[in-house]
Amino acid sequence: MSTARLSQRSVQPQQRVNLRALPAMGAARANRSAMVFLAICVAAIAVLNLCIHIMTSNAVYELADLQAQKRELTTNAQILSEQVDSLSSQQNLADSAQKLGMIANANPVFLRISDQTVLGQPKAALDTSGRVASNLIPNAALTERTGDISSMVASSGASATAAVVAETVVSYGGQIAASPTR
């Protein structure tokens, strides 16, 4: 059997292989190079994109940080501005002037340059009626006050004036004149 089969195969005509021409090796290599180049480009773009993304993210956090700094500085500026407002308010200035024993002179005197004439009668600023009063005007925004006035007063030898500090702006004599008006 086996011999017969072998002999049978040997007599069968050989089947023809369907052949065709392959593309030239050079062209295939060129295509592969293009694909590799394309892949590298894509990878480069991806890497670039990643870098840009990282940089952008960093910039966002940097921006957030700078904005936080700006908020801090704005808060600082506001705190200082409100301190200046408070210290320069008339209430604080009046209190400070009073503590320093300052007196508003009720007798202003002018020197007219053109003819060198003195206008007014010079008098020492001793009239207690012209003394700066303690502050009577409310100010809820007065959060900051000039400090250490007492030491300044002491060092300038002005503490002797403390006795008159409590004078108010308006003072009246004990006598009240009858009214001629109606």
Judged by the rule CB under 8 A, the positions of this chain that interact with other proteins are 18, 56, 59-61, 63-64, 75-76, 78-79, 81-82, 85-86, 88-91, 94, 104, 106-110, 112, 119-121, 129-130, 133, 135-143, 168-172, 176-182
Q: How far is the CB of 39 from other proteins (least distance, A)?
A: 18
Which tokens hold the place of 80?
Answer: 């200082």
| CA count, 13 A, side-chain hemisphere, 96 | 15
Residue whose CB is less far from other proteins, 29 or 82: 82
Residue whose CB is less far from other proteins, 57 or 156: 57
Q: How far is the CB of 27 from other proteins (least distance, A)?
A: 16
Residue whose CB is less far from other proteins, 104 or 152: 104
Among the listed residues 151, 152, 134, 148, the one whose alpha carbon sits nearest the alpha carbon of residue 91:
134
Dist. CA 95–CA 134, nearest whole Å: 6
Dist. CA 158–CA 20, nearest whole Å: 121
Enclosing H/E stretch for 112: strand 110-112
Residue whose CB is less far from other proteins, 33 or 139: 139
Q: How far is the CB of 151 from other proteins (least distance, A)?
A: 25
| CA count, 13 A, side-chain hemisphere, 11 | 6
Q: For strands 110-112 and 117-119, give the pairing.
A: antiparallel
Q: How far is the CB of 4 from other proteins (least distance, A)?
A: 33
Q: Length of the chain in residues, anyone? A: 182
Residue whose CB is less far from other proteins, 34 or 77: 77
Q: How far is the CB of 178 from other proteins (least distance, A)?
A: 6
